Amino acid sequence: MKKMYQNGCHRLLSFRFAILLAGMLLLANRSYAQAPGTEPQAQSYAWKSAPEAIALLKSQVEMLNQQIPGITEGTPLYDNTIRRVAYFKAIIQELARGATVAESLELSLPAAATLGFSKEATYTSKIVLRALKEEARVTLTN
């Protein structure tokens, strides 16, 4: 009786494994990601002119610089404020070099990821960088 139970149990486990494997293979063929064309292209936005963008970003940097002394250094709020300042300053530099507003948002992301190039190994998630870029896009579009 004991041997019969063990053989039945092994067959049941291998049957369950086969069903699980088949289910995983069927689901692996399905894609749950967004279609690549769902995000609007940068050219489809009505961007502000470079001088307007520079003026807006300079006022944002001044406002953030006034807030920094009241924030405890080393906290996530402090790092995010520094990150925003670094990103906005980098956008201003890219605009001054002649890049378009849309291009400057992309070209400036490394400055945000490294807190203005002051911390080489700083880990900045893609979610944070995407949020910064979206904030800048909203600010710099008409």
pLDDT tens per residue, range 13-48: 455 555 544 555 445 544 444 444 444 554 588 999
Q: pLDDT tens, 54-96?
A: 999 999 999 999 999 999 998 889 988 999 999 999 999 999 9
**pLDDT value at residue 124:** 78
Using the predicted structure, report yes or no on whether residue 8 has a pLDDT greater than 70.
no
- Per the CB < 8 A criterion, the answer to whether 45 and 141 are in contact is yes
Which tokens sit at 69?
Answer: 């002394």
Beta-bridged to residue 141, according to DSSP, are 47
Q: What percent of the chain has pLDDT over 90?
A: 47
For the residues 119-126, what does the mean pLDDT come to? 66
For 6, 8, 10, 14, 24, the CA distances from 2, given in Å and listed in that order, are 6, 10, 13, 19, 33
CA pair distance 133, 42, nearest whole angstrom: 12
Tell me, what's the pLDDT at 118?
Answer: 58
Report whether pLDDT(141) > 80.
Answer: yes
